[in-house]
Amino acid sequence: MQCLKRLVVLNKLQYVRNKKKELLNYITYQYRYKSDIIFDETEEEKNIYSKLTKDYLGSIINGNRVFVIQPYIKWGVQKKRNTTPQLQLAEAIALINTLPNWSVVGKKIVPLLSLQKHKLVGSGGLETLKKDITNCPNVTAIFISTNLLKFIQIAELQNIFHLPIYDRYSIIIHIFREHAKSPEAKLQVAIAEIPYVRKKMIDLTNYLIRQVKFDEKTKNLLQTREKKLRNALKKLKEHRQMIKRHRTSYGFPTIAIVGYTNAGKTSLIKALTGDTSLQPENKLFATLDTTVHQGLLPNNLKVLYIDTIGFIQDVPETLLEPFLVTLEDAINAHILIHVFDISHPDVKAQIDHIQKTIQPMIDENKVIINVANKCDMVDKNEIENLLPEDAFTISATKLKGIDLLRSKIQEEIIHAANLIQKRIKVGNGSAEASWLYKETTVLNVIPDSKNSQYLIMDVFMTTPIFYKFKRIFNV
């Protein structure tokens, strides 16, 4: 009878092990490949929408030789004071260089009193720009690096320069399209571009400017497409919530990595987990998918690191709004790590932007660990002037400071994830002992001084895991 009972317990133990392994695989891999989150559309609808986006977003297939204009407000409440026009221009150039076969052949910083003029600048400024653009070899497009131009401005400037005009919204949409690999990311990009296409069509139709008119058929097509996409996004949100419930029930502590685009989020996760399958790329918006990766802390506690889409300044909210579904899931992690590129010339403005963006989304008691990445690329004397209070300096690629950061994560996660420490007496070599080794973090094991057939185990575990232990082994 005793042997039969032990066999039942062992079978339960093996079942729980298998289910937990399956769940980890599900969370860390299937998390990013939810292929049934799609929407249906006919070939005719696809073709019509494809033509619309080509007309109103432009095409990147053949590349472009770009003249970059960086406008800035000289004074007043709209003047940016935590950055400089030169640093803004550098980011604009980096955006263009992210697109395949696009290159910057000319650039100019343009001081303005307002961004509201139809032609953006006065007649004298226009003549100067014409000369500058003409003097550049074979310019094929102009990028005006402001978040969203009025479409009458785009139309006016295209008529003046006889070249396609892009703003930051349209350029970033093209980068998103290029980098979106999973159905999930493609869905979010597809939603992000519709407000831009619709608004541009309406404005240009109202001004009777050459593009296809915004007739009833086109209006209905966009409405239908957006409705289908929103329904698919709703399913995605439900899918994320289901994964979160599973994750919570199994007690996996979670750490979300947030930061400016190309700050080194994926590189940091690779350093923390040792996951060689991760291949970080040195380009803007390399990561559009929210992915999850398992790691071990120094005390052998299993945790999940969540990678997220990067942020960028000077873009409309509608561009990033579809990505909030996956971003909110990450923000709800037990701990946030805000990683920033300490070697970037505009790091202070980037830090300010991230802090302002995530602050409304999080509880005021949320633990945030600030991490200054790429410290190997900065002179030691300069770092102190740039660092926020209590920030950790690391180099994710050279693994400098990673052990110290792991220790900090371990210290904070115990409280943030409500981990409890228990002392449990189990049989030496028993199923209970094996289960605790497998499912909890074992801190210490000593023989029972009163009976050598038993062990005293000090373990860390979450409350759900503790009650699961009691349920499985009837203790």
**What digits encode the pLDDT tens for the residues 322-361?**
887 778 777 889 999 999 999 999 999 999 999 998 888 8
pLDDT of residue 115: 85
pTM of the model: 0.83
**Is it the case that residue 13 has pLDDT exceeding 50?**
no
- Specify the CATH architecture of the domain 251-415: 3-Layer(aba) Sandwich (3.40)
E runs forming strands in 96-214: 102-112, 141-144, 165-166
In angstroms, rounded to a whole number, what is the distance separating the alpha carbons of residues 95 and 102? 10
Higher-scoring residue by pLDDT: 365, 287: 365
Give the model's confidence band at 30: pLDDT under 50 very low, under 70 low, under 90 confident, else very high. Answer: very low
Q: Which residue type does 118 have?
A: H
How far is residue 370 from each of residues 55, 211, 436, measured CA to CA in Å? 43, 48, 33
CATH topology for 41-250 is: Rossmann fold (3.40.50)
Angle at 172 between CA 169 and CA 175, to 5 degrees: 155
Better-predicted residue by pLDDT, 289 or 471: 471
Q: Tokens representing 384?
A: 């102190």
Q: Residue 209's pLDDT band (boundaries 50, 70, 90)?
A: low
What is the rounded average pLDDT of the residues 403-429?
Answer: 93
Residue 405 pLDDT grade (very low, low, confident, very high; cuts 50, 70, 90): very high
Domain boundaries, the chain: 41-250, 251-415, 418-473
41-250 and 251-415 share one fold: yes
Q: Who's near 102: CB < 8 A, 6+ residues apart?
A: 60, 63, 64, 66, 96
Binned at pLDDT 50, 70 and 90, residue 60 comes out as: confident
- Going 47 to 51 to 54 to 60, the CA torsion angle's sign is positive
- Torsion 381-387-392-393 (CA) sign: negative
pLDDT tens digits, residue range 130-182?
999 999 989 999 999 998 888 889 888 998 999 999 999 999 999 999 988 88
Helix 324-331 × helix 183-206 angle, to 10°:
130
> Is residue 7 predicted with pLDDT exceeding 50?
no
429: left (phi over 0), alpha (psi -120 to 50) or beta: left
Q: Is the pLDDT of residue 382 over 80?
A: no
Classify burial at 361, counting beta carbons within 10 Å of its beta carbon; exposed 0-12, middle 13-18, buried 19 or more: middle
Q: Which of 36-40, 117-121, 257-261, 334-338 has the lowest mean pLDDT?
A: 36-40
Mean per-residue pLDDT over the chain, rounded: 84
Give the residue from 407, 406, 446 showing the smallest Cα distance to 426: 446
Give the chain's end-to-end CA distance (angstroms, integer).
Answer: 19
Q: What are phi and psi of 395, to 5 degrees?
A: -130, 105
User: At residue 272, does pLDDT exceed 90?
Assistant: yes
Please check the confidence at residue 10 and state whether its pLDDT lies above 50. no
Q: Under a CB-based contact definition with an 8 Å cutoff, are residues 71 and 115 in contact?
A: yes
Q: Give me the numbers of helices (H) and strands (E) for the chain, helices first please.
A: 16, 13
Distances in whole angstroms, Cα of residue 230 to Cα of each of 46, 280, 347, 433: 17, 30, 35, 49
Token digits for 372?
């200054």
More confident residue, 11 or 316: 316
